[in-house]
A = this chain, B = another copy of it.
Amino acid sequence: MTGSIPSFAPGDEGSSRRRQIMEIAARLFARKGYRGASMRDIGEQAGVLGGSLYHHIKSKDALFIELHNAALDVAELRIAQAIEGARDPWEKLERACATLLEIQLAPDSLTMPMMNDFREVPEDVRQQLIARRDAFEDQFKSLVAELPLPSGINRSIYRNLLLSLLNAVGDWYRAGDLTPGEIASQIVMIFRHD
């Protein structure tokens, strides 16, 4: 439909048909959540019946985990590239925030919006998602560690507040307002103390 959709990690295994299904599934999970997107929904958009998807995937759980991890792989990579050229810790933080917001606020974002509703997911799936997300958040742990913050501020709290706030921007953002970069600038304005 869109022709060009943000691709997952390069070197992805599987046929292009499989990747097409993954992209459809990602969009539906992002829009309707894990429970809200049924295999029959996904099949319908792919032009097949729900049951036919099981030739390409093992289970709904496995599909969701694969998408979630691939999305975090992409985000991690793009953030690493974005902060590469910067030396000032506040500049690095702002670039990381802007990149994450660009990903999350993309009109047909496949990636991060699903990072939230972990409560909708079966317990054993949730644990795998959390493990991957914790690794992702290490990137921000490093960024926050470099900041010259006042001594009264707890860096662990600071990081959690920042991350939860970044994850929630999609809930209130309406296109046509500010750009992701402008929002990132506002966030760093607020979080900046030195």
Contact = CB atoms under 8 A, between A and B. Distances in A.
A104 to B, nearest CB: 13
Interface stretch (A28-36, A44-52, A86-94): A28-36
A171 B116 CA distance: 9
B119 A32 contact: yes
> How many monomers of this protein are in the complex?
2
A131 interface: no
A187 B193 CA distance: 13
A122 B106 CA distance: 25
A164 B157 contact: no
A170 to B, nearest CB: 10
A152 B189 contact: yes
- The contact size tier of chain A is 20 to 34
Given A36-B120, A120-B35, A154 B178 contact: yes
Contact of A172 (B33, B154, B164): B164
A149 to B, nearest CB: 9
A81 interface: no
Nearest to A161: B165
B119 A189 contact: no
A54 interface: no
A179 interface: no
Interface string A175-191: 00010000100110111
Given A35-B36, A150-B189, A168-B168, 12 more contacts: A33-B117, A33-B120, A35-B35, A36-B119, A153-B189, A158-B190, A160-B169, A161-B165, A161-B187, A164-B169, A167-B168, A190-B191
